[in-house]
Amino acid sequence: MKKSLLYLLLFLIPAMIPVMNQAGSGNPVPDMEGQPDLFGALNLSQMGLSREVFQLALKGYQKLEHSGRLLNSNILTIIDFSQSSKKKRMFVIDLKNRALLFNTYVAHGRNTGDEFAKYFSNIAGSYKSSLGFFVTKNHATGASVGLSLIIDGVEKGFNDNAIKREIIIHGAAYATENFILKTGRLGRSFGCPSLPPDLIKPVIETIEKGTCLFIYHQDDYYIHHSSLLN
């Protein structure tokens, strides 16, 4: 009987070692399938982005990727409109190469708020920003704004009128640090997420043609009714 128990222990102990090592390794829970803690690796908390917002962005991104909506699933762009417009609240992340490519200022709509974004809309002529997930399209050149990027809102009722409203990403002098120094906040757009003019070209070249864009605010109605977050 004692010999049988000894043989059993000798068999079980090697099998338990990998499990014990894994449990005590301290490895972070993956943010994405098969990837370790990308949020921590990129120091996104220090850059001003919360883990909660990052996880929401990943949740919607993964649904879009699995449904085949993204032509380029390497790039995820997050705009956090819960932050002051004086903060660099746009984050362009290379998921494949695990790199933060851009962290910059981005303006919200003139009827969305002053320093802080508060009000959002999907209605033409509202001059308000829209929340939710978008898929980027091709770049364009306009007479008034120059180089811009068309974005397609994919959440019905929240942003699916973006193309009809001509909501685009473009450069604007009011989306710069100099403007903040003069006025205490960024200027505001007609609803477009506007960027510093010197960054519009490299940002568009990075995120155009089928990447995921997530515009966030701690809006309870959106968070609980978004088809991509629920």
Q: Which two tokens stand for residue 110?
A: 């003139």
Q: Report yes or no on 16 lying in a domain.
A: no
* Its pTM surpasses 0.95: no
For residue 14, give the H/E element and its range: helix 2-23
CA gap 229, 84 in Å, rounded: 24
Q: Report yes or no on 119 lying in a domain.
A: yes
Q: What is the DSSP letter of 101?
A: E
Q: Tokens 């705009």 map to which residue?
A: 79
Residues 6 or more apart in contact with residue 138 via CB below 8 angstroms: 149, 150, 208, 209
Q: Report yes or no on 78 lying in a domain.
A: yes
Q: Report yes or no on 38 lying in a domain.
A: yes
Residue-wise pLDDT tens digits, 110-155: 999 999 999 999 999 999 999 999 999 999 998 889 999 999 999 9
Taking residues 28-39, report their average pLDDT.
64
Q: Does 189 score more than 50 pLDDT?
A: yes
CATH classification at residue 210: 2.40.440.10
Sign of the alpha-carbon dihedral angle for 42, 47, 49, 51: positive
Does residue 152 contact residue 138 with C-beta atoms inside 8 Å?
no
C-beta atoms surrounding 140 within 10 Å: 14
pLDDT-based confidence at residue 10 (cuts at 50, 70, 90): very low
Tell which phi-psi region holds residue 125, choosing left (phi > 0), alpha (psi between -120 and 50) or beta: left
Sheet holding 194-195, edge to edge: 99-104, 90-94, 75-80, 212-216, 132-142, 146-153, 168-171, 194-195
Question: What percent of the chain shows pLDDT beyond 90?
Answer: 83
Q: Report yes or no on 48 lying in a domain.
A: yes
Q: Does 6 score more than 80 pLDDT?
A: no
What pLDDT score does 25 carry?
34
- Average pLDDT across the chain, whole number: 89
Q: Does 26 score more than 50 pLDDT?
A: no
Does residue 150 contact residue 138 with C-beta atoms inside 8 Å?
yes
Phi/psi of residue 72, each to 5°?
Answer: -135, 100
Number of domains within the chain: 1
Q: Report yes or no on 206 lying in a domain.
A: yes
Residues 6 or more apart in contact with residue 112 via CB below 8 angstroms: 81, 118, 119, 120, 127, 128, 129, 188, 191
Does residue 128 contact residue 188 with C-beta atoms inside 8 Å?
no
Alpha carbons within 13 A on the beta-carbon side of 154: 24
Residue-wise pLDDT tens digits, 48-103: 999 999 999 999 999 999 999 999 999 999 999 999 999 999 999 999 999 999 99
Amino acid at 226: S
Q: Report yes or no on 97 lying in a domain.
A: yes
Q: Report yes or no on 159 lying in a domain.
A: yes
Provide the residue range defining the domain that includes 110. Answer: 30-225
Residues 6 or more apart in contact with residue 144 via CB below 8 angstroms: none
